[in-house]
Amino acid sequence: MDNYADGRDFSLLHEDRFTFSVLRRIIEGRCSLLLTDHEKLIICFTCDPFPVWVWTRDAMTDADMEKAFRLLSENGLLDGRHRFNVKHGFAGFLISRAGRDGMKLSVSENLLAYECPEPSEPQTKTDGGIRRCTDDDLDEVTAYLDAFTAEIGHDRRDPETCRKEAKDYIDSGCMYFWTDACGNSAATCKYGPAVDGMATVNFVYTRPECRRRHYAQNLVYRVTVMVREAGLTPVLYTNADYAPSNACYSKIGYRLRGGLCTVQAEEKNGSLR
- Residue 82 domain boundaries: 7-113
The answer on 136 and 95 residing in a single domain is: no
Predicted confidence at residue 59, as pLDDT, reads 87
122 within a domain of the structure (yes/no): no
* Domain finish residue from 53, 79, 113: 113
Least confident of 31-35, 151-155, 243-247: 151-155
To the nearest whole percent, how much of the chain has pLDDT over 90? 86
Q: Mind giving me the DSSP string for 37-75?
A: -SSSEEEEE--TTSPEEEEE-SS--HHHHHHHHHHHHHT
The answer on 147 and 96 residing in a single domain is: no
The answer on 234 and 163 residing in a single domain is: yes
The answer on 105 and 134 residing in a single domain is: no
The answer on 134 and 104 residing in a single domain is: no
Query: Span 8-24, mean pLDDT?
Result: 94
Q: How many structural domains does the chain have?
A: 2
Predicted confidence at residue 244, as pLDDT, reads 82
Q: What is the CATH number of the domain that holds 211?
A: 3.40.630.30
Query: Span 82-93, mean pLDDT?
Result: 97
Least confident of 100-104, 220-224, 235-239, 266-270: 266-270
30 within a domain of the structure (yes/no): yes
The answer on 137 and 242 residing in a single domain is: yes
265 within a domain of the structure (yes/no): no
State yes or no: pLDDT of 149 exceeds 80.
yes
Q: Are 95 and 204 in contact (CB under 8 A)?
A: no
* Domain finish residue from 113, 138, 169: 113
Q: Are 80 and 103 in contact (CB under 8 A)?
A: yes
Residue 269 banded pLDDT, cuts 50, 70, 90: very low
The answer on 163 and 76 residing in a single domain is: no
Of residues 113 and 49, the one with the higher pLDDT is: 113
The answer on 191 and 83 residing in a single domain is: no
To the nearest whole percent, how much of the chain has pLDDT over 70? 97
51 within a domain of the structure (yes/no): yes
Question: Whole-angstrom Cα distance, residue 175 to residue 160?
Answer: 19
150 within a domain of the structure (yes/no): yes
The answer on 164 and 90 residing in a single domain is: no
Distance from the first to the final alpha carbon of the chain? 30
Q: For residue 149, how many C-alpha atoms fall within 13 Å in the half-sphere facing its CB?
A: 17
Residue 153 banded pLDDT, cuts 50, 70, 90: confident
The answer on 88 and 46 residing in a single domain is: yes
- Average pLDDT in the chain: 94
Predicted confidence at residue 268, as pLDDT, reads 56
90 within a domain of the structure (yes/no): yes
pLDDT digits (tens, 9 = 90+) for 216-243: 999 999 999 999 999 999 999 999 988 8
Q: What are the CB-based long-range contacts (under 8 Å, 24+) for 185-192? A: 185/131, 185/137, 185/140, 185/144, 186/128, 186/210, 186/213, 186/215, 187/215, 187/216, 187/219, 188/141, 188/144, 188/148, 188/219, 189/216, 189/219, 189/220, 189/223, 190/223, 191/223, 191/226, 191/227, 191/234
Cis peptide before 193 (omega within 30 of 0): yes
98 within a domain of the structure (yes/no): yes
Q: For residue 178, how many C-alpha atoms fall within 13 Å in the half-sphere facing its CB?
A: 26
State yes or no: pLDDT of 31 exceeds 60.
yes
The answer on 187 and 91 residing in a single domain is: no
Question: Whole-angstrom Cα distance, residue 108 to residue 208?
Answer: 23
The answer on 170 and 133 residing in a single domain is: yes
270 within a domain of the structure (yes/no): no
